[in-house]
Amino acid sequence: MNAIEVRGLRKEFDGFSLGPVNLTLPSGCIMGLIGENGAGKTTLIKLLMGAMKPSGGSVCVLGERDLRRRPAVKEEIGVVLAEPCFPEEITAAELGIVLAHSYARWDAEAYKAYLERFELPRDKKFKDFSRGMKMKLAIAAALSHRSKLLVLDEPTSGLDPVVRDTMLDLFFEFTREEDHSILISSHIVSDLEKLCDYVAFLHKGTLLLSEEKDRLLERYGLYRCTQAELDALPPGALKGKRVGSYGVEALVDREKMPGGAVLQSPGLEDVIVYMSKGGRP
Amino acid sequence: MWGLLCKDFFSIKKTAGFLLLLGTAYIVLDALPTGGTSSFMGLFLFFFLSMIPITVLTMEEKSHWSEYAAMMPYSRKMLVVEKYVLALASAGVSLVLYVVVFSLAIAFGVNAMSMAGVWTSACVGVCIGLVVPALNLPLVIAFGVAKGRLILFGSIALVIMGLGMVLEAVGSSQISSLAQAIGSFGLVSVLGASVLVFVASMGISVLIDERKE
């Protein structure tokens, strides 16, 4: 079973349109959603969660096609938003009570353990939390109702590297159960490279790629060459380039390259940066 | 829905506590010996607490709570209806306090008002507790707290101005016969009408929220 299936999903706004988006997150896997600010990542997450009405296309999350009419499936989805939106006057302990009355499968013990693990004060008001503490509280809440799917929008932003690493371990831990999946959006490509099995890349509302990370890294190569060699590349081979004073570095499709060309393995960040630049230098 | 009500309670417990204290003080002052009448000062509590759903919405707007709530296992409809349940609960709390304070005042011989009189005043209070949020909530849901309130106050001012002009044109004898006609409907009818306005407002708010997308 797939945790998420999206087909031809579109959303039109004045001055911005998202999609059509097609992506599949198999159950038990982690998908990284990459894109610059304003690429449409948060809009996509809202559409997936039924928090926004799509202009077209379909979404199926944990086997449910209509989250807007049947929100009960959200019991099984833990969400962390880029900006934690808890009421300012509420404390972590009170939030636990609110969520216990909202989620039938709320695990108060797990929540308490996360608060201790993240060193979060139980009785301090949310408005007095630092940005990092707010994110940690949101993650603790998302992990404490026995969800099968985590939808995380920039969950590690505002966290220092040590805490970020702890969070990534937690997410790994979460996917040890074979039916647990994660969709995570982040600017920090290195985090996603460590964490993800699948990568989806949104650029200005268009999904440029959605595939298995290892296959993606195998499919492309970095080609260092002269401008003349670049001009001689077969059509469709060039995916992106950077022209410097010492030559050209290009992201190319290995399958379309002539035999004998020396290619280096790119990192995920290379693929993303070159693809977003396209043919521009 | 309990989760949402708990969230509202934790968010406004300080503000609500202050309003409750203030409103109760007004009721106590109202229940002190007045020769068997009520000055209706005690009804302020109904008005104060009727503003609680709007106060909560102001706080939600500030914290962007609705974005998180949309990710929780609640439908949009439930999120709107909950604000009306909160309004009902506020009216209920006001009613209980009002009746209890006056009953004690009567029992201890401090106030000579009859229990029927207490219930009549309390009915007026409940009408306030229902109509105030019923008028406010659809506008606030449609336009946000700041704009919604502004539109409401503007509309009320226009209605009052219009009524003033109409009444001036009609003359005082016809006004008193109109008042008598309204009075003959009885308080229960006014309460019934308030309930209808409240229910209609809830339906309108749900529709507005759906269309807002």
Whether A227 and A112 share a structural domain: no
Q: Is the pLDDT of residue A87 over 70?
A: yes
Asked whether residue A211 is domain-assigned, the answer is no
pLDDT for B183: 60
Whether A194 and A225 share a structural domain: no
Secondary structure (3-state) at A222:
strand
Whether A34 and A122 share a structural domain: yes
Whether A83 and A138 share a structural domain: yes
Out of A72, A89, A102, closest to residue B10 by CB: A89
Asked whether residue A212 is domain-assigned, the answer is no
Asked whether residue A30 is domain-assigned, the answer is yes
Span of A72-76, A174-178, A254-258, B152-156 with lowest mean pLDDT: B152-156
Angstroms from A92 CA to nearest CA on chain B = 11
Secondary structure (3-state) at A212:
strand
Whether A110 and A236 share a structural domain: no
Whether A245 and A151 share a structural domain: no
The predicted model scores a pTM of 0.83
A-B Cβ pairs (cutoff 8 Å, strict): 85
Q: The domain that contains A33 carries what CATH number?
A: 3.40.50.300
**Whether ipTM exceeds 0.85:** no
Whether A12 and A100 share a structural domain: yes
Contact A85 B67 (CB under 8 A): yes
End position of a domain, from candidates A143, A169, A204: A204
Q: Which residues of A touch B11 (CB under 8 A)?
A: 87-90
pLDDT for B39: 62
Angstroms from B150 CA to nearest CA on chain A = 24
Asked whether residue A253 is domain-assigned, the answer is yes
Structural domain count, chain B? 1
Structural domain count, chain A? 2
Q: Is the pLDDT of residue B170 over 60?
A: yes
Query: Stretch B98-124: mean pLDDT, rounded?
Result: 84
Contact A89 B75 (CB under 8 A): no
pLDDT for A226: 85
Distance CA B138, CA B140 (A): 6
Whether A7 and A131 share a structural domain: yes
Contact B73 A101 (CB under 8 A): no
Query: Stretch B46-68: mean pLDDT, rounded?
Result: 90
What is the residue range of B19's domain?
2-211
pLDDT over 90 percentage in chain B: 28
Give one DSSP letter per residue of chain B, joined into a string. Answer: -HHHHHHHHHHHHHHHHHHHHHHHHHHHHHHS--SS---SGGGHHHHHHHTHHHHHHHHHHHHTHHHHHTTSS--HHHHHHHHHHHHHHHHHHHHHHHHHHHHHHHHTTS----HHHHHHHHHHHHHHHHHHHHHHHHHHHHH-HHHHHHHHHHHHHHHHHHHHHHHHHH-HHHHHHHHHHHHHTHHHHHHHHHHHHHHHHHHHHHHHHHHT-
Q: What does the block give as tokens for B98?
A: 């009002």
Contact B73 A85 (CB under 8 A): no
Whether A264 and A186 share a structural domain: no
- Interface probe for A, chosen from B67, B71, B75, B209 (most Cβ of A below 10 Å), is B71
Q: Find the closest chain A residue to B11 by CA distance.
A: A89
Please count the CA atoms within 13 angstroms of the CA of B28 that sit on its side-chain side: 6
Query: Stretch A133-162: mean pLDDT, rounded?
Result: 89
Q: How confident is the model at residue A91 (pLDDT cuts 50, 70, 90)?
A: very high
Angstroms from A81 CA to nearest CA on chain B = 7
Asked whether residue A194 is domain-assigned, the answer is yes
Q: How confident is the model at residue A106 (pLDDT cuts 50, 70, 90)?
A: very high
Asked whether residue A213 is domain-assigned, the answer is no
Q: Which residues of B touch A102 (CB under 8 A)?
A: 2-4, 72-74
pLDDT for A140: 93
Whether A187 and A244 share a structural domain: no
Whether A192 and A75 share a structural domain: yes
Asked whether residue A209 is domain-assigned, the answer is no
Residue A49 Cα distances to A54, B6, B41, B72, B108, angstroms: 11, 23, 48, 9, 58
Judge whether A150 is closer than 8 Å to chain B, CB to CB: no
Long-range Cβ contact pairs of A235-242 (< 8 A, separation 24 or more): A238/A279, A239/A274, A239/A275, A239/A278, A240/A273, A240/A274, A240/A275, A240/A276, A240/A277, A240/A278, A240/A279, A241/A274, A241/A277, A241/A279, A241/A281, A242/A274, A242/A277, A242/A281
Asked whether residue A210 is domain-assigned, the answer is no
Amino acid A153 reads D
At A21-47, the pLDDT tens digits run: 999 999 999 999 998 888 889 899 999
Q: Find the closest chain B residue to A106 by CA distance.
A: B3
Sheet with A247-253, strands from edge to edge, namely A220-225, A247-253, A238-244
What is the residue range of A247's domain?
219-277
Whether A254 and A180 share a structural domain: no
Q: What does the block give as tokens for A223?
A: 């080609």
